[in-house]
Amino acid sequence: MVTFLPARPGPLADVPSFDRAIGGAESNVACTLARAGHRARWVSRVGADGFGDHLVRTIAAYGVDISAVERDPERPTGIYFRTDGERATGAADPAAHPSGLSEVLYYRAGSAASAMSPATVPPQAVHAGQVLHLTGITAALSADCLALLRALTSARTPAGSGAGPGPLVSFDVNYRVGLWRTPTAPRAGAEVLRELARHSDIVFVGEDEAAAVWGVTGGPEAVREVLREPAVLVVKQGAAGATAFVGDGPAVFAPALSVDVVSPVGAGDAFAAGFLSGTLRGLPVCERLRHGHLMAAAALTDAGDLAEPPAREVADRLVALDDESWGRLRLGPGWTARGAQAAAAGRPDNPGEEECLS
């Protein structure tokens, strides 16, 4: 989508002008992975309009392969307007814009992206990589989009393709109240999101999301009890950190970093990109979590949905800190440009192997 950000703080009704940016969970992840040194492809549909031109050009400039993006001559590119703040995950009405919550208005019905379906997405475009990343946002856009996600999660390897095992399917629940707001949609959304998660290999879900959409409380272990199927389950716990479950192994917890927050938008997508980057590199689970926290810290200290991630060598250096030094780090705006100095400031002379709590 094209995102419109208020030029000044305040409710949308009082903002006189907006700055144009790009948004979208899947494209955010693709852009961040590309900037982190991975090959990434974005598969989508945009309108044959100026906003579509802007999206394609901007995402390509991040180093993302946009060859599988289709232009729709009949449907417009989706847009949305938002203020800064956390997105609502419960029953709160965003129109009331309670303190701390972002006010969000979506204009996506009938958009080009909502017309994605199993018939419009070439199998070779989505099965060529090592990881296929999906989110629950796409499932909420239309019946055709839901059919596409069901097809992608229910069949790891396309029938008769001869391609061998398909990619790992990564799924971020990404529950959005504003996209499931009809009288029957919240209940249907809960069932759909659980179904898609159960058919995926790697699942990301916030502890607050699990409570809002499925009524699951009691911590990460309780979430794992209702999502036993994914090989890897990552439960994000906000400012506290994140817990990962791999197979039947013990939970692995990595605390989040202290961050001077500029805007919380995009942090979840950045975390997923960091974790997936570590997965592609074959890193231990704890290191994957720490890379997720570093990518999230880059997003949290930037005003837009996308932020420049730390250089890989800087991120690796920070990830290798011992627990005490990791806990002493505090990151603020511009820290990725000063990453080497930040690492040196917190890094012990002879760092040992980092330890995570399990």
Write the CB contacts of 74 (distance below 8 Å, at least 6 apart in sequence).
Answer: none
Residues 2, 96, 267, 16, Cα dihedral to 10°: 40
Rounded Cα gap, residues 309 and 40, in angstroms = 15
Structure tokens at 73: 């001559």
Catalytic pick among 72, 172, 269, 305: 269
Residue with tokens 């009082």: 14
The token pair at 183 is 């009288």
Q: Is 282 helix (H, G, I), strand (E, B) or coil?
A: coil
Burial track 66-102 (b if 16+ CB lie within 10 A, e otherwise): bebbbebeebbbbbbbbbbbebbbeeeebeebeeebb
Is 19 tagged catalytic? no
Contact by Cβ (8 Å): 304, 20: no
Q: What residues are annotated to the active site?
A: 269
